[in-house]
Amino acid sequence: MALLKLENLHVALEDGTEIVKGVDLEVDTNEVHAIMGPNGSGKSTLAYALMGHPAYEITEGRLYFDGEDVTEMGADERAQRGLFLAFQYPHAIPGVTVTSFLRSAINAVRKARNNGVDDPIAIPEFRKELLGEMDRLKVSRELASRYLNDGFSGGEKKRVEILQMAMLKPRIAVLDETDSGLDIDALRVVASGVNELVGPEMGALVITHYQRILNYVTPDHVHVFVNGRIVASGGPELAEKLESEGYDPFIPAKVVTEA
Ligand SMILES: Nc1ncnc2c1ncn2[C@@H]1O[C@H](COP(=O)(O)OP(=O)(O)OP(=O)(O)O)[C@@H](O)[C@H]1O
Ligand SMILES: [Mg+2]
């Protein structure tokens, strides 16, 4: 079984509206999967449900991580197992600096992996790693002592999401529209961060509604996502087809209208 496995996953909003309508998908380490779909098709809803956001309920189907059924698990337990989500709209946490946020997140994962016993990272080791990753990802050092995402520009938020990924070293990273709002330099930084981390230790699920980031992160598998479902899967050439033809050929209502 792949590291991350979605089996007939259905997701509903708190009012019961079903948004994700049966998704089967397997993502393994060493693989980049891209999910591409139009606005409002349910991509972020799927991403939130994968992470265990309480407002997005899995109403049918199962979610497996490393062979374990994590469908009913909370976000913290999934994160401790190595699932990571970079948000489309990262929230600000006034009062919590980037540095202290990252250290707590790392220590929570370390504690879980140490059978629930505290095993905090030594501060010099943490600082060395943080500064190294910040330089590598071209995140301004000034951001480290600021409150997380508080007043950050769109590009700064996305870079800090990638910094979190680099520091937490997840096994599967889900990146929701991490490319939107980035200038070309930031896009390259984000893409190279993903490219460097994907390998025997990590796989990635890149969610996007346009092809731009895929010029820098080559997906092994592309899935077209329309109205809560994967309607087509293929290789990187599928992303190019979408770029030239748009989503219309994949939208059932439009096919009917044109017929
Ligand atoms: N918390 C919520 N409350 C109400 N409606 C919601 C909520 N979350 C999602 N929706 C609705 O679910 C549908 C799918 O939204 P979602 O954000 O998953 O789409 P998306 O594919 O990520 O779109 P985009 O490409 O614009 O990011 C939309 O109609 C949206 O308004
Ligand atoms: Mg979205």
Q: Which residues have C-beta within 8 Å of that of residue 218, sequence separation ≥ 6? A: 32, 236
**Cα 176 to middle of ligand 2, angstroms:** 7
Beta pairing, strands 18-27 & 221-226: unpaired
Question: What pLDDT score was predicted for residue 258?
Answer: 52
SS3 159: helix
Mutate to test the pocket of ligand 1, among 10, 17, 19, 48 (most ligand atoms within 8 A of CB): 19
The ligand 1 site (C-beta within 6 Å) comprises 13, 19, 37, 39-45, 55, 88, 177, 209
Contact between 76 and 108 under an 8 Å Cβ cutoff? The reply is yes
Question: What pLDDT score was predicted for residue 105?
Answer: 93
User: Which residue puts its alpha carbon closest to atom 24 of ligand 1?
Assistant: 39
**Cα 41 to middle of ligand 2, angstroms:** 8
Q: Give the helix/strand (H/E) hosting 205.
A: strand 203-208
CA atoms within 13 A on the CB side of 39: 1
**Cα 242 to middle of ligand 1, angstroms:** 21
Task: For ligand 2, an ion, list residues with CB under 5 A.
Answer: 43-44, 88
**Cα 258 to middle of ligand 2, angstroms:** 28
**Cα 98 to middle of ligand 2, angstroms:** 24
Neighbours of 145 (CB within 10 A): 10
Ligand nearest to the CA of 46: 1
And the tokens for 79? Answer: 């994160």
**pLDDT, tens digit (0-9, with 9 covering 90-100), for 72-111:** 999 999 999 999 998 888 889 999 999 999 999 999 999 9
Ligand nearest to the CA of 36: 1
Report the residue count for the chain. 259
User: Which residue puts its alpha carbon closest to atom 7 of ligand 1?
Assistant: 13
Cα separations in angstroms, 216 against 113, 154, 160, 189, 195? 33, 19, 19, 10, 8
Question: What pLDDT score was predicted for residue 154?
Answer: 83
**pLDDT, tens digit (0-9, with 9 covering 90-100), for 39-51:** 999 999 999 999 9
pLDDT by residue for the chain (259 residues), tens only, comes to 899 999 999 999 999 999 999 999 999 999 999 999 999 999 999 999 999 999 999 999 999 999 999 999 999 999 999 999 988 888 899 999 999 999 999 999 999 889 999 999 999 999 999 999 999 888 899 999 999 999 998 888 888 989 999 999 999 999 998 777 788 888 888 888 899 999 999 999 999 887 888 889 999 999 999 999 999 999 999 998 988 898 888 887 655 555 4
pTM score of the predicted model: 0.92
**Cα 103 to middle of ligand 2, angstroms:** 28
**pLDDT, tens digit (0-9, with 9 covering 90-100), for 64-83:** 999 999 999 999 999 999 99
- DSSP codes of every residue in 40-88: TSSHHHHHHHHHT-TTSEEEEEEEEETTEE-TT--HHHHHHHTEEEE-S
**Domains of the chain from N-terminus onward:** 4-258 (3.40.50.300)
Ligand nearest to the CA of 14: 1
